[in-house]
Amino acid sequence: MSKNQELKRGLKSRHIQMIALGGTIGVGLFMGSTSTIKWTGPSVMIAYAVAGLFLFFIMRSMGEMLYLEPTTGSFADLGNKYIHPLAGYLTAWSYWFQWITVGMSEIIAVGAYMHYWFPHLPTWVPGVVAMVILGVANMISVKNFGEFEFWFSLIKVLTIVFMIIAGIGIILFGFGNGGHAIGFSNIWKNGGFFTGGFKGFFFALSIVIGAYQGVELIGMTAGEAENPQKTITHAVKTTVWRILIFYIGAIFVIVTVYPWNQLNQVGSPFVSVFAKIGITAAAGIINFVVITAAMSGCNSGIFSATRMLYALAKNGQAPKIFAKLSENKVPVYSTITVLIGLAIGVVLSYVAPPSIFVYVYSASVLPGMIPWFVLLISEIKFRKVNAGAMEKHPFKMPLTPYSNYATIVFLLVVLVGMAINPSTRIPLIAGIGFLAIMTAIFYLLKMEKRVPLDEAENEKGTKTKAV
């Protein structure tokens, strides 16, 4: 193991921008867009826009703090420093739990989607192969993770861009529709723009906000980014509007090309749009893209869960061995532990009833929101502590603290919607249960009194020199 237990800054700007995009644009958009549209019809575009506005404030609060303090495990470190050790602890374990479950689901998805080409191949085989490849890549160096995620994300982004262009061709010029332009009438026909009324729109917000979880992943890369001030701030500036364009643009094309109430009959909307303009291999193309999206999700899961375990160990809230790095400056023991967790999850998914895994995965929705709350609350205290540095800070959070409070209220409203909606109530309760258990463990083990690992090492070094 390396004596210098600092992560290597091996992620370039192009890596971080694609990591941010790839962390949010996943299988849900390609295969699950119909589930968000069914609640509220075409007005789901507004739901994505509203959620995107508050996502902008979350990202800017993160960017402001990371500009001065670019550390890996940033959410945990910031919560620990500016709120309370419990905030950092819950943030780290919540994020770890979220990405472990995401990684499990994506590994299982890889096996399921490979059935399209190899129907007799056991589902677990391609899933395990994908996990091993990604695990080895993550253990070799952080640059390998960045390269994998760059190309996975690029495939997804190019697919969405092509679909948007093809969709506009159908809408305006009738490409693939005998030269008859479809026009925009499907947006307000078949029940209107707000098909499900206010209730449907309200319920849709909880699903939409879940689709955005993962965009804050660039905060996890801060400690391993080359020139972090420049790369992180540029990524924050550009990521939000790019995601909004991709999400809203893709949904706009889908609800314009097809009546929203027929989407359940056409399978993946992406396949349908491609097939409509005459691409006969549309299903195979989208299946390939979805596999890369699942690989991307698993890749992000391994990276994020590993770095959070590393941050917990550095803060004295997990065994010290998880803070040890390999010669390539990778937290290898943390990575191995995450891979073991994914493997156990894959085994359980085939042994246990499917409903158990669904609830475990759904329970990560609330914990996945904890970093957002922590970022918004931390930034208020951050401003006060760093008042001098803020005078010349080039990347300030707009409208602080009012934008912080407004975003916190919005997130709480979304949680209320999850509690009211029978479809999301049980996952919310499960998420609350997870947070309650982790809080009890925190106080039972008296973790708030533990000395962070780096401080302990410094103290030890000082005493050794004195002797």
pTM of the model: 0.82
Q: Compute how many other C-beta atoms are within 10 angstroms of the C-beta atom of residue 432.
A: 15
Cα–Cα distances (Å) from 449 to 46, 185, 317, 445, in that order, read 46, 62, 10, 9
- 452: DSSP letter: P
Nearest-angstrom CA–CA distance, 225 and 234: 12
Give dist(CA 84, CA 92) in Å, integer: 13
- pLDDT at residue 460, rounded to an integer: 41
Would you state the pLDDT for residue 337?
92
Q: Return the pLDDT at 7.
A: 57
**SS3 label, residue 23:** helix
Residue 317 DSSP one-character state: S
pLDDT one digit per residue (tens) for the chain, 467 residues:
444 555 555 566 666 666 666 666 666 666 556 677 878 888 889 988 999 899 889 989 988 898 888 765 567 788 888 999 899 899 889 988 888 887 887 888 788 788 888 888 887 888 888 888 888 888 887 777 778 778 888 888 888 888 888 888 889 988 877 788 888 888 888 778 888 888 888 888 877 887 787 777 766 665 556 677 777 777 777 777 777 788 888 889 888 888 877 776 555 677 777 777 777 777 788 888 888 888 887 887 888 888 888 888 887 888 889 988 888 788 889 999 999 988 887 787 777 766 666 667 677 788 889 999 999 999 999 999 998 888 888 888 899 999 999 999 999 999 998 898 887 888 889 889 999 999 999 999 887 765 454 444 344 443 333 33
The two structure tokens encoding residue 185:
């009438």
pLDDT recorded at residue 415? 92
Residues 356-394, buried b or exposed e (16+ Cβ, 10 A)?
Answer: ebeebbbbbbbbbbbbbbbbbbbbbebbeebeeebeeee
| Cβ neighbours of 98 (radius 10 Å) | 28
Q: What is the 3-state secondary structure (H, E, C) of 360-414?
A: HHHCCHHHHHHHHHHHHHHHHHHHHHCHHHHCCCCCCCCCCCHHHHHHHHHHHHH
Cβ burial 268-295 (10 Å sphere, 16+ → b, else e): bbbbbbbbbbebeebbebbbbbbbbbbb
**pLDDT given for residue 13 in this prediction:** 62
φ and ψ of 328, to 5 deg? -85, 10
Of 196, 211, 228, 248, nearest to 24 (Cα)? 211
C-alpha 343: how far from its chain's center? Answer: 21
CA distance 446 to 129: 40
Minimal CA–CA distance to 313: which of 326, 302, 323? 323
Here the contacts of 331-334 (C-beta below 8 Å, separation 24 or greater) are 331/7, 331/306, 331/307, 332/139, 334/305, 334/306, 334/307, 334/309, 334/310
Phi, psi of 225 (to 5 degrees): -100, 140
**Domains within the chain, CATH numbers bracketed:** 13-466 (1.20.1740.10)
β-strand partners of 11 = 225
Whole-number Å distance between alpha carbons of 101 and 301:
8
Q: What DSSP character marks residue 213?
A: T
- Write down the pLDDT at residue 193: 86
Helices (H), 25-141: 27-31, 33-40, 44-68, 74-82, 85-114, 124-140
